[in-house]
Structure 1
Amino acid sequence: MPPFPFEINRPGMDVRLQDVITQAQGSPMAAGFMSLRQGAFPWHLDYDEIEFVIEGELHIGTAQGVKVGRPGDVIFVPKGADITFGTPNFARFFYVTYPAQWSG
């Protein structure tokens, strides 16, 4: 997977992302794979997103607490949320966003 295409200011944290469905295919939604290795970073969502955890342990931090996802778990993150994506060791997950233009 290629490196995450945005600066997260977390030296030593390995974040990777591979889009598999984008607006370029004419889809109103986007989807892809993401992996995190040891750490957390803040993120603001201007789109709805669903995470399906494939491997490891995904932590989604919100103002209400931390949602922990393990293999097979699905986590919904609503549009407008300020979160942290994190993992104590490693996480790999599949994501779906709506609308497709998730990066702004």
Structure 2
Amino acid sequence: MTSTEKTPPRVARFADLSFAPRFAYPEMCEVTEVAGLADRSELAGGFARFRAAEIPWQVRYDELILVLEGQFSVETPEGVLSAGPRDTIWLPAGTPVTYRAEDALVFYSLQPASWASAEGEA
């Protein structure tokens, strides 16, 4: 495989994934990426677990969030978006947000996967 080829198709088994702290609030959020830059893709996705979370952020990518367990909300300038299991939240790049959850598991997908390296945050 050349350095520009994408990785081959695969299955990521949830039971085999390892979560790691994320953001400046490691006690509030852990994530595990299942696809992204390592696959030479501009689409990234993974799981995030939020506990007693109140995390301010500015979304620097288009993001789609699917709530799998618990209740998850995102405060935006337009109001609070609240979602439960099987609900989705869409966030366009540039949106200032606060992620909130007592105990929630979500799947996220974002593009571009390279947002952090483009801003020197990798």
Using the size of structure 1 for normalisation, the TM-score is 0.88
Could you tell me which residue of structure 2 aligns to residue 96 of structure 1?
Answer: 109
The structure that is helix-richer by fraction is 2
C-alpha deviation, 1:30, in angstroms: 0.3
CA distance in 2, matches of 1:74, 1:66: 13
2:44 to 10, 25, 30: 30
> Which secondary structure state, in structure 1, belongs to the residue aligned with residue 109 of structure 2?
strand
Matches within 5 A, 1:1-104: 1-4=19-22, 6-8=23-25, 13-87=27-101, 89-103=102-116, 104=119
The structure that is strand-richer by fraction is 1
Aligned identity (percent) is 32
Could you list the per-position Cα deviations for residues 11-48 of structure 1 after superposition, in whole angstroms to 9, with x for gaps in the alignment? xx431011110112021100000011113110111110
> Which secondary structure state, in structure 2, belongs to the residue aligned with residue 24 of structure 1?
helix
Instruction: Structure 1: state its 5+ residue gaps.
Output: none
Structure having greater relative contact order (Cα 8 Å, sep ≥ 6): 1
Instruction: Structure 2: state its 5+ residue gaps.
Output: 1-18
Select the structure of larger CA radius of gyration: 2
Question: Aligned-residue CA RMSD in angstroms?
Answer: 1.4
Which 4+ residue blocks in structure 1 deviate beyond 4 angstroms? none
CA distance in 2, matches of 1:50, 1:77: 6
